[in-house]
Chain A
Amino acid sequence: DVKVTQSSRYLVKRTGEKVFLECVQDMDHENMFWYRQDPGLGLRLIYFSYDVKMKEKGDIPEGYSVSREKKERFSLILESASTNQTSMYLCASSPHTGLAGTDEQYFGPGTRLTVT
């Protein structure tokens, strides 16, 4: 079974802190993704990566950065946390097999971040 793990289920941080959210997948997937999920807004893509050290901006990259130094690990960084970044953060991974875009994404359980 594919497993995507996220470092914390719940996290509380103060405004202005630097926050690291870690995601690890154990299936040698090429693609990894960070989303935030807010009620009524669904999932919005923050950043994704299709290879080590490669990254692409999603729809809402402002205030976030990412790092992918190893294939299995994709980190989301909030340089200076703000209250409007309080949200559920979901990590996902997918393989790149055959035709691009046909592979399912496998999701972690999520990290609920509260910034006070």
Chain B
Amino acid sequence: AQSVTQLDSQVPVFEEAPVELRCNYSSSVSVYLFWYVQYPNQGLQLLLKYLSGSTLVESINGFEAEFNKSQTSFHLRKPSVHISDTAEYFCAVSRGSTLGRLYFGRGTQLTVWP
């Protein structure tokens, strides 16, 4: 089975500070990588994904993530956070052969303070 580790359960930061949310996965085969975000009282929505090609992927609201195959990591970063980025963030991994199944990490609660 896949294993996805999000190293920090809670990350508090001040507004306009940079942030990194860490994600590591265990796999000996090719995987596809996703970050989802869950705002309070809502379901999850896709933030960004890596399928192939450039190892740096970006979202429309300023987040980026870099696929590092040698370190089996897919960390999420943003150079300057806003209060509206306060949410829970989930890293997820898919193997191509599992009918669309995703394996999720336990989540990181990002709280941005004014």
Contact = CB atoms under 8 A, between A and B. Distances in A.
A26 B69 CA distance: 36
How many A residues are at the interface, by size bracket? 20 to 34
Q: Give the bracket for the number of chain B residues in contact with chain A.
A: 20 to 34
Contact of B100 (A59, A103, A107): A103
Interface in A73-115: 90, 92, 94, 96, 99-105, 107-110
Nearest to A54: B99
A89 B102 CA distance: 16
Interface in A12-49: 30-31, 33, 35, 40-45, 48
Interface of chain A: mostly helix, strand, loop or mixed: loop
Interface string B47-84: 00101000000000000000000000000000000000
A69 interface: no
A107 B44 contact: yes
Contacts of B46: 104-105
A27 to B, nearest CB: 14
B101 A90 contact: no
A4 interface: yes
B101 A102 contact: no
Interface of A: 4, 30-31, 33, 35, 40-45, 48, 50, 56, 58-59, 90, 92, 94, 96, 99-105, 107-110
20 contacts: A31-B99, A40-B9, A41-B106, A42-B6, A42-B106, A42-B107, A43-B107, A48-B100, A92-B43, A99-B96, A100-B99, A101-B96, A101-B98, A102-B96, A103-B100, A107-B43, A109-B41, A109-B42, A109-B43, A110-B42
